[in-house]
Amino acid sequence: MTVDLTTHAAALALGDDTLVLSHRLGEWAGHAPVLEEELALANIALDLLGQARVLLSMAGDEDELAYLREERAFRNLQLVEQPNGDFAHTVARQLYFSTYQHLLHAELAAGEGPFAPLAAKAVKEVAYHRDHAEQWTLRLGDGTDVSHERMRRACEALWRFTGEMFQPVEGVDVDWAALETAWLASVTDVLGRATLSVPEGPRTGAWAAGAGRQGLHTESFGRMLAEMQHLHRSHPGASW
Amino acid sequence: MNTPAATGAPPQPRSLESAFEDTIARDQRVEPRDWMPDGYRKTLIRQIAQHAHSEIIGMQPEGEWITRAPSLRRKAILFAKVQDEAGHGLYLYSAAETLGADRADLTEWLIEGRQKYSSIFNYPTRTFADVGVIGWFVDGAAICNQVPLCRSSYGPYGRAMVRVCKEESFHQRQGYELLLTMMRGTEEQRAMVQDAVDRWWWPSLMMFGPPDDNSPNSARSMAWRIKRHTNDELRQRFVDMTVPQAEKLGVTLPDPELRWNEERGHHDFGTPDWDELKRVISGDGPCNAERIARRRAAHEEGAWVREAATAHAAKQAARASEGAAA
């Protein structure tokens, strides 16, 4: 498949989002609070990895792109690279991202751009991810005092990374402003039903705005890549 | 199972027991509501729970490599496999619950060391080749063990095994395919495979349990048709199945006594280190402490999440009944 440079860059941005979030979810294997969540988190991670493989393959060789780029060449959102933290942080990150991804893919699937075929498949998977995140937001927010407090803190801690999702990505033909409005309405609704309030801080800090998309990442990301890439880089040219 | 129809009279223990014996003798299935001897129930709970625990602890050695898998394809395969294992654990806990066991209790017993899991998962995964060798040997051995269990006398267990075996054989082929790919690769990759084979061969043979003359539960489990073959029979079957696969792969199995015996029509092989097996199953293997500690940590650190889910469900139920009353 030949793709133009703009599509190439856009595929990389969307592909990196899913690759990195999938990796973070993989860190939960064997650590989840109940067996059902071992299944659910691995299931979501596997969906995201599948999306990443399609997107990265649009931009080049999936393994070369995943394993041989340095931190500065990754184009993912800072939100998805945030460490798992406790289960509430993982749920908040999933809520913010899957709501965004669902709205984005619904629009892309309806269009005729290069991402429409992928989006048509992904939108079904992401609807499930979004539902899973919403259900857990409700359970934790409207559960015990402890879980409420943990969920509140998680939502606040990740809030400043949410603005970056709506920085237009060149080559992704959607109405970004409308996407942002819809996202905010949906998240406000879910948080309200979970007896949580929408965090007050800015959604885009002066330091975070558009940074991940430009290859400027938060500190833990380098360590994540070191683990992810180590084996592949130790055996140059080997196939697995 | 045919039990006398309820007539209001107290059930006759003699007839219940003979009906049970009859079901077993006719190779029919015992179902959850059927009468069964206490010993049968207890043996099954122990075996099914330990089988479930093995699936859950078994997620750890391979889960170790999800974040380091060297290609996206292998990473996807590992995710899917670890997910399947969690699913197998769930089937098996459900089967154990049909016997009156409680999953929460079984989990407690696992993390308190009161129930065991397969000895094999106490060995560490040191390189990525271990992932392939686990698929080939460990899933292979599991299949040898589990295929006959599909005909186990207890219905829910047999049916769980049918589903588990289908998925296990898929994993086994994927593991073997990883090793084939690595053996066609670089010198270092081939050495990695041979090293993993050398480390996992004997522990895999030990998965079948102690030799027949030292297997206290075997005779009864066979009489009850919970088990269909002895430990040594299954071990022999595994060796016979694996030797040609090793040849095709181009690796040697680390046993100088291993050779084809024309007379028996089977491979002869050396004796596993039964003292090592004893140590490992009594808690003194290379990773026993880590495996249990990890399970315990996940359980304890997740307590607040489970409590939240319970509290939320209770609130929802209360709201629903308030709504109905209003």
Separation of first and last alpha carbons in chain B:
48
Min Cα distance B173 → chain A (Å) is 15
Cβ contact, residue pair B308, A27, below 8 Å: no
Residue-wise pLDDT tens digits, A30-40: 999 999 999 99
Q: A144 to chain B: nearest residue by CA?
A: B308
Mean pLDDT of B271-276: 97
CB-CB under 8 Å, A52 with B63: no
A67 close contact with B: CB closer than 8 A:
yes
Assess B293–A contact: CB distance below 8 Å, yes or no.
no
- Contact with chain B for residue A23, Cβ under 8 A: yes
Per-residue pLDDT for B4 more than 80? no
**Closest residue on chain B to A47 (Cα):** B76
pLDDT tens digits, residue range B129-158? 999 999 999 999 999 999 999 999 999 999
Residue B6: is its pLDDT beyond 60? Answer: no
Task: Please answer yes or no on whether A33 and B305 come within 8 Å at the CB atom.
Answer: yes
With an 8 Å Cβ cutoff, is B181 touching chain A?
Answer: yes
Is residue B296 within 8 angstroms of chain A, CB to CB?
no
Over range B7-26, report the average pLDDT: 78
Q: Which residue in the set A19, A31, A35 is minimally distant from B86, CB to CB?
A: A35
Check residue B220 and give its pLDDT.
87
Which chain B residue lies closest to A85 (C-alpha atoms)?
Answer: B301
Nearest chain B Cα to A135, which residue? B309
Under 8 Å CB-to-CB from B75, ≥6 apart: which residues? Answer: A26, A49, B66, B69
Q: Which of A16, A23, A132, A139 to mutate: most B Cβ within 10 Å?
A: A139
Q: Is the Cβ of A68 closer than 8 Å to some Cβ of chain B?
A: no
- Model confidence over B40-59: pLDDT tens digits? 999 999 999 999 999 999 99
pLDDT, tens digit (0-9, with 9 covering 90-100), for B88-118: 999 999 999 999 999 999 999 999 999 999 9
Per-residue pLDDT band for A52 (boundaries 50, 70, 90) equals very high
Contact between chains at B70 and A231 (C-beta distance less than 8 A): yes
Q: Indicate the length of chain A as a whole number.
A: 240
Q: Do residues A89 and A154 touch, judged by C-beta distance below 8 A? A: yes
The interface residues of chain B toward chain A in range 184-213, judged by CB-CB distance below 8 A, are 185-186, 188-189
A147, exposed or middle or buried, with CB in 10 Å at 0-12, 13-18, 19+?
A: buried
* Chain B residues with beta carbon closer than 8 angstroms to that of A152: none
Closest CA relative to residue A198, chosen from A87, A101, A96, A78: A96
Alpha helices in chain B (DSSP H): 13-25, 38-57, 59-63, 72-97, 103-111, 128-133, 139-149, 155-183, 187-206, 218-223, 231-249, 274-281, 288-301, 303-325
Residue B206 scores a pLDDT above 70 = yes
Of A38, A235, A237, the CB nearest to B59: A38
CA distance B302 to A109: 37
Give the nearest chain B residue to A53 (CA atoms). B72
Residues of B in contact with A52 (CB under 8 A): 72
Q: How far is CA B107 from the centre of its chain?
A: 15
Beta-carbon separation of B305 and A62 below 8 A = no
Pairwise CB contact (< 8 Å): B294 & A140: no
pLDDT band for position B215 (cuts 50, 70, 90) = confident
> At residue B24, does pLDDT exceed 90?
yes
Q: Which residues 35-64 on chain A approach chain B with CB closer than 8 angstroms?
A: 35-39, 42-43, 45-46, 49-50, 52-53, 56, 62-63
For the segment B216-250, what is each residue's pLDDT rounded down to a tens digit? 778 888 989 988 899 999 999 999 999 999 999 99
Instruction: Answer whether 0.80 is exceeded by the pTM.
Output: yes
Tell if the CB–CB gap between A139 and B178 is shorter than 8 Å: no
What is the 3 state secondary structure string of chain A? CCCCHHHHHHHHHHHHHHHHHHHHHHCCCCCCCCHHHHHHHHHHHHHHHHHHHHHHHHHCCHHHHHHCCCHHHCCCCHHHHCCCCCHHHHHHHHHHHHHHHHHHHHHHHHCCCCCHHHHHHHHHHHHHHHHHHHHHHHHHHCCCHHHHHHHHHHHHHHHCCCHHHHCCCCCCCCCHHHHHHHHHHHHHHHHHHCCCCCCCCCCCCCCCCCCHHHCCCCHHHHHHHHHHHHHHHHCCCCCC
List, for residues A15-24, the tens digit of each pLDDT value. 999 999 999 9
pLDDT given at position B154 = 96
Pick B72's closest partner by Cβ from A37, A53, A140: A53
Number of A to B CB contacts under 8 A, please give it.
Answer: 142
